[in-house]
Chains A and B, each alone.
Chain A
Amino acid sequence: MKQFWVFVKKEILHILRDKQTLFVLIGMPVAQILIFGFALSNEVKNSNIAILDQSKDQATEQLIHRIESSRYFDIKAYLNSSDQIEACFRKGDVRLVIVIPSNFENELQHQHKASIQLIADATDPNLGTTLVAYASAIILNYQNELLVHQKIPYTIVPEVKMIYNEQLKASYNFVPGVMAMILLLVCSLMTSVAIVREKELGMMEVLLVSPLNPFFVVISKTIPYLFISIFNIVSILILSYFVLEVPIKGSLWLLMAESILFIITSLSLGLFVSSNAKTQTSAMFGTLIGLFMPTLMFSGFMFPIDNMPLPMQILTNIIPSKWYFIIVKSIMIKGLGFISIWKETLILVCFTAVMIFISVKKFNKRLEIA
């Protein structure tokens, strides 16, 4: 056992020596959390719009004022003719043009019917629909206020409540995703490269003739990354809790235990890659293309799984980070206990066991040949 710790100490010294890499390993989660938490959001607000008011009367003035004071819209330009609509979309900043035809107030008062045209730049279909929906709501509210003296009969009033995330913060979704991504990157990329480097430099032979069991030689390489990962988890949680104000509703201990399980899963993936790769470059591309890209794409945190074509949806089931992402969301955001996530946990355990089994087998075989 003492020998084992000597090996671990050697690995730790290796890592501490390369300051640049260590800095990136520890700084990356912090940077990601800050970017995701502060800069990224899908919330629509302050969108630039333009108004083509051909009527310019009291009613349109009131309506425009209402649109202007909403937090969704910033009026960027007032257009004078419909020829300008296209040019102003082409310049790229305006997302919605509200066209009010002439005689608006007149028609509204005397014919009780007027029309407004909403033209959206639907390059981004989501943004287009959202902006049109917001603008319609404002216009409809205005219309309803016009008949404030009459009570509208038979009204169904939807009282909407946002469960789990009242302020609709994007970080509630991103923090668990970043955790999965960082753990996978640090554990599998770094371990696989570290092990393959020894192979490439021929050091593995030297290590293997040492009195320590070859299996423990490899395990000793993973231990420092286990520590770095735990450190990263703690720093992510502290930042997200205190700076981003993302709650940890469930048990912190359960969350840590599941995270350590996922760290072991990622380490086993790293072992698996390293038992197959011969050079550092192939180990790197193997983890990036084989593990990292699928994680980013198919774990459900960047891209919604529901929208993918069926074969891709099935493929997502073999991505371990998908299950970890579900676990973290359930514990942190929804505050659920172990009973609700035992299935996902079991999948991770099985996955890890299979990966370790395959790598150990491959590893032993290689020794016989050597």
Chain B
Amino acid sequence: MNNIRTLIRKEFSQFFRDKGNIRMLLMMPVIQLLILPFAANYEVKNINLCVVDHDHSPQVNQMIQKITSSGYISLVGYVERYDEALKLFEQDKADIIIEILPHFEENLIKNNEVSLAVSVNAVNGSRASIGGQYLQEILRDYNQNIRAKWIQFPKFNPAPIIQIERAYWYNPTMNYKHFMVPGILVILLTMVGANMSALNFVKEKELGTIEQINVSPIKKYEFILGKLIPFWIMGQVVLSIGLSIAYFVYGIIPQGSVFVIYLFSSFYLLVVLAYGLLISTYVSTQQQTMLISFFFMMVFILMSGLYTMIDSMPPWAQFVTKLNPVAYFVKVNRMVIMKGSKLSDILPSIYAMIIMATVLISWAILNYRKKA
């Protein structure tokens, strides 16, 4: 027990001796949490529309007015020929082209039905589909309006109408940052936990100081615990910094209990640290550590559901996310912070963390023994 305490003291004084470490520990959360949420905004707004008008009727003007008054869509071009509009697509200046055929108004009145050619720039698929939806919704609305204006409905309305009430829970202001910040917090914790512990461990190897520890009376498990505990504490500190930034900068107040978040992060950090330890048993230089942990980190982050939904992944990929600790914490953090989920709601995720931690730590210790 005494040995462990000494080792922990060693780690801390070694860590705080290097000003670069402290800067990284403090700067990383600040930079990531202050810049990333502003950049990682997938809200689709500012859709640029170009109209190709072959009709020039008052009806068309009204329609364009209606579309642009929604606030989501703005008119960037009003041209005579389709290929001029296509130019704007090529330069990425327009997202949607509406082509209005000649006699639009006339046909609408005479034939009761008129088609409208809508082309969407779909290089970015998700932007295209959401933008297309907005436009269609506005058109549907506009269509209802002209019908209401033109038809003198009899007092008794024979057409059944289903009224749809829409409610958006848990994020009433529809603020994308509130969605991203809890997720980015997890990435932060992961980078600190995994990278720093792996690098720290490999440094001892590279410098040869690990040999000295190996010949000292310190036992293996004491050495490993002596490495894990300091970084576990630093992880919790980073989490606290992150939660404070979320509160003071973004005004995010956890709906659920903060205790649940810390409880989960205690197990999560064990998994991440064990993972860092495991990597360090396989590599020999800091450069390799960086490259390999960078590679895995990328896979973990991309497959975590932070930027893209896990729901829309194919089944095999959804299975992979079950093995990804980052995915669990991203989900849990969002659930607790935004929806106020309780301990009982996230118990399955905690069990998963315990299993992963056990497996990874045993693997790391076994592998470490073999080499030492």
Q: Given the complex, which residues of A lie within 8 Å of B302, measured CB to CB?
A: 35-36, 39-40
Q: A156-B108, A284-B287, A340-B90 are in contact. Are A46 and B170 (CB under 8 A)?
A: no
Encode B126-143 as 1/0 by CB contact (under 8 A) with A: 111110110111011011
Encode B1-45 as 1/0 by CB contact (under 8 A) with A: 000000000000000000000000000000000011011111111
Would you call A209 an interface residue if the criterion is a C-beta within 8 Å of the partner chain's C-beta atoms?
A: no
How far apart sit A75 and B320, CA to CA, in the bound complex (Å)?
23
Stretch at the interface among A9-17, A214-222, A264-272, A298-306: A298-306
| A154 CB contact (under 8 Å) in B108, B125, B126 | B108
Q: Given the complex, which residues of B lie within 8 Å of A165, measured CB to CB?
A: 122-123, 125, 128
| B116 CB contact (under 8 Å) in A20, A139, A157 | A157
| B39 CB contact (under 8 Å) in A39, A117, A303 | A303
Q: A139-B164, A281-B286 are in contact. Are A92 and B341 (CB under 8 A)?
A: yes
How far apart sit A158 and B288, CA to CA, in the bound complex (Å)?
55
Would you call B265 an interface residue if the criterion is a C-beta within 8 Å of the partner chain's C-beta atoms?
A: no
Q: Is the CB of B169 within 8 A of A119?
A: yes
| A307 CB contact (under 8 Å) in B42, B168, B339 | B42
- Chain A's closest residue to B27 (CB) is A289
- Chain A's closest residue to B59 (CB) is A156
Stretch at the interface among B173-181, B242-250, B357-365: B173-181
- Chain A's closest residue to B282 (CB) is A20
Shortest distance from the beta carbon of B84 to any chain A beta carbon, whole Å: 15
A-B contact count (CB 8 A): 300
Q: Given the complex, which residues of B lie within 8 Å of A39, measured CB to CB?
A: 302-303, 313-314, 317, 320
Q: A130-B133, A304-B42 are in contact. Are A90 and B345 (CB under 8 A)?
A: yes
Q: A130-B130, A334-B123 are in contact. Are A118 and B108 (CB under 8 A)?
A: no
Stretch at the interface among B145-153, B213-221, B223-231: B145-153
Q: A284-B290, A307-B43 are in contact. Are A32 and B171 (CB under 8 A)?
A: no
How far apart sit A60 and B330, CA to CA, in the bound complex (Å)?
36
Would you call A308 an interface residue if the criterion is a C-beta within 8 Å of the partner chain's C-beta atoms?
A: yes
- Chain A's closest residue to B291 (CB) is A24
Given A91-B341, A120-B166, A172-B122, list of 14 further CB < 8 A pairs?
A31-B295, A39-B313, A46-B312, A90-B339, A112-B159, A114-B161, A116-B163, A123-B334, A128-B174, A147-B158, A154-B147, A155-B112, A307-B46, A333-B123
B interface list, Cβ under 8 A from A: 35-36, 38-46, 89-92, 108-109, 112-130, 132-133, 135-137, 139-140, 142-143, 146-147, 150-151, 157-172, 174-176, 179, 283, 286-288, 290-292, 294-295, 298-299, 302-303, 307-309, 311-314, 317, 320, 331, 334-335, 338-342, 345-346
8 CB < 8 A contacts A-B: A38-B314, A42-B308, A46-B311, A120-B167, A123-B171, A133-B133, A302-B40, A307-B41
